[in-house]
Amino acid sequence: MKNIKLAVIPGDGIGKEVVPASLKVLDTIADIHGGMKFEYEQFEYGCDYYLKHGSMMAPDGMERLGQSDSVFLGAVGDASKVPDHISLWGLLLKIRREFELEINVRPAKVFSGIRSPLVNPKDFDIMVVRENSEGEYSSVGGRMYQGDDEIAIQNNVFSKRATKQAMEHAFRLAGVRRGHVTSATKSNGIFHSMPFWDEVFKETAAGFEGIETASRHIDALAASFVTHPERYDVVVASNLFGDILTDVGAAIMGSIGIAPSANLNLNGRHPSMFEPVHGSAPDIVGRGIANPIGQIWTAKMLLDHHGEEEMGRLLLETMESVTADGFLTPDVGGTNTMDEVTEQIIGRLKR
């Protein structure tokens, strides 16, 4: 029996709703598989934990999470309780950094039955590889003076090692997809880091024969996702650009509630972490209408990561059959609850 040990962090807001729904789906997958079992350890880390203990996780939190095969996380942040930069740096970004989760893979495509702003939604099938550990998400800088003279300085950090690692991952993915990588740059306006980014992209591309490349400024690229989605296969982007681009991608998919992501550790020293793109959505907490698909698609990425691609494929096809038949939560124009959509997925998996 293959035993997969998951550290489960529902986190904040709708994370506490979509994570339990997704664990039911994972248990169903394990039953169908017959030779696989998930073992869950729950961690109540998040903003409520902060209010009680003064930190987003326990002092031995990283050590305990590190004993799992993977981390399965819901959402982090509730600005009514804890300032967002404290909650993000105290939990989500802490795990990304300390577990060296330097690559964030975010697939995006439009499911049948879901309305998209695109004329031809089937043209949109992309994979964004986001550098996940540095770039614009940096704590280097400071604030000086006060009142009208106050200034804030924020330094971005781009290392050749992390930049190249993200780019190489993008090229490897393109090799098993449609053979094209687009680099998201802004080297006309950002004087040091983005010309460096372009140079590393050229150097990396030279090592991957047969993959076509393009380089586009982030502003034009974001617009072109909407106007010419067929141009894109794999897109590699810095931390902030990748985050923004994947929100554009999520809007094209019909809702941010659908978008999944995997934070990958490539050196085998720590577990990888799987989390949907969406946040805690405090506005819909407790109403039972959160879209479970982002978290369940994230579970599919976890299955792939643990070598269960066939189960992953079955799960993706089942989710799409559910949306195609019109079982949709309100964020994508439907009237179904989270439980109804989840039960449809589970029921069809069991058929």
Q: Which residues bind ligand GGG (CB under 6 A)?
A: 75-77, 88, 92, 243, 275-276, 278-280
- Look up residue 191 and give its two tokens: 């004087």
Give residues with Cβ within 8 angstroms of 187, minimum separation 6. 194, 195, 197, 198, 217
In the complex with ligand GGG, the residue whose CB is nearer, 314 or 338, is: 338
What's the min distance (Å) between Cβ of 324 and ligand GGG? 26
In the complex with ligand GGG, the residue whose CB is nearer, 116 or 133, is: 133
Determine the Cα–Cα distance for residues 183 and 171; give it in Å rounded to an integer.
Answer: 11
What's the min distance (Å) between Cβ of 213 and ligand GGG? 26
In the complex with ligand GGG, the residue whose CB is nearer, 26 or 250, is: 250
In the complex with ligand GGG, the residue whose CB is nearer, 246 or 318, is: 246
H-helix or E-strand containing 152? strand 151-154
DSSP structure class, residue 284: G
- HEC readout, 89-103: HHHHHHHHHHCCCCE
CA angle 348, 6, 303 (to 5 degrees): 45
Determine the Cα–Cα distance for residues 245 and 211; give it in Å rounded to an integer.
Answer: 22
Q: Which amino acid is at 268?
A: G
What's the min distance (Å) between Cβ of 37 and ligand GGG? 25
**CA proximity to 314, closest of 329, 326, 297, 327:** 297
In the complex with ligand GGG, the residue whose CB is nearer, 92 or 338, is: 92
What's the min distance (Å) between Cβ of 71 and ligand GGG? 11
In the complex with ligand GGG, the residue whose CB is nearer, 84 or 309, is: 84
* Residues 234 and 257 sit within 8 Å (Cβ to Cβ): no
What's the min distance (Å) between Cβ of 257 and ligand GGG? 11
* Residues 116 and 81 sit within 8 Å (Cβ to Cβ): no
In the complex with ligand GGG, the residue whose CB is nearer, 213 or 342, is: 342
What's the min distance (Å) between Cβ of 48 and ligand GGG? 15
Determine the Cα–Cα distance for residues 295 and 92; give it in Å rounded to an integer.
Answer: 16
What's the min distance (Å) between Cβ of 270 and ligand GGG? 18
Burial class of residue 160 (count of CB atoms within 10 Å of its CB; 0-12, 13-18, 19+): exposed
